[in-house]
Each structure stands twice: as C-alpha cells, then as structure tokens.
Amino acid sequence: MVKANWKVFEKDYWAINTTLEELLDNSNSKSILLLDKTGQLISSVGQQPQFDLYSFASLCAADFEANAQLAKLVGEKDFSTLYHQGSNESMYLSRVERDIILVILFDKKTTLGLVRLRTRKAVEGLGVVIRRLYEKLEYENEEYTESEFGEEFTAEAEFEIDSLFSD
C-alpha cells in the first residue's frame, strides 16, 4: 500500500484539470479519472458515470495492481497501460507517475488509437505536475508491511469488499 494523504494546491489543481479537460476533448472520451494506487480519487472530468465512482476507482487501482503482479510473473517489470474493451464501452488505464493512474472511459465514438495517442502527451504533462506536487509535499512512498494491519482490519476490509458485490 501507499500513503494516501493528498493535498493539492490551487495551481496544481488547475494544471491537472486543464490537462484532463484537454485530453477529454482531444480524445473524444466520455470521462477521465485520476486516482492514486490506493483507489483514492484525485480528480475527474467529463460525464458523471452512472455508478459508484469511489468503488470504481478502488477496483481500477486493484486491477492495475493485479496486472503489475501478472507482469512480474511473465518477466516484465510492469505493465504501464491496460485496456478493457466492451461491446459499447471501453476503458484505458495508464500509469502517470509511480503511484498515479489515469483512467479514460470511452465509447464507439472514438478509437483506441486516438485515446492512446492523446493519453501519451497528457501523461507527460501530468507527470511533471505530479512530480512537482510530490516535491512540495515531500511525499515519500512508504511501504507498509502486512503486520501493520491487524486481523480485525483485514476482516473488516474483506467484509466491505464482499458487501460491494453481494446481491
């Protein structure tokens, strides 16, 4: 896990949102989310999705982490991008900076090629802003060991995840 305390300064907020808005327009996407590795939503632009955004952000972060583990199993350091294609809706995920994930939701009105092309430029710009933010906050990627989380916490977390998917 990663430390999840965010403080975004006004200048950085506008730099992030301007970049996200440009990506939204230039890629013809529906929604764009910026989140951290813990699933904490940092910013979102575009159409408000018709589902629980916070659960979705957590699942995206978990998806990215699961794929990072798969990458290691096949001999890769990491998969920096993920793509999920549906019959009508698709999503493209890209690592921005060490613990930041960009999620682009799009439909058939655009193409994966356009999304990938526009995302590449946006990731570069967002990377600069995020690194500057890390420096301002003296952000350190602290790794926590499992022993720091008690059995009670683990049981509660498992219960909450199970309740998200129960009928």
The predicted-structure confidence for 89-126, as pLDDT tens digits, reads as follows: 999 999 998 889 999 999 999 999 999 999 999 999 99
CA atoms within 13 A on the CB side of 157: 7
Q: Rounded to two decimals, what is the model's pTM?
A: 0.75
The end-to-end CA distance of the chain, in Å, is: 29
List domains and CATH numbers for the chain. Answer: 10-164 (3.30.450.30)
Tokens of 72: 């290691």
Question: Taken in order 13, 14, 20, 21, is the CA torsion positive or negative?
Answer: positive
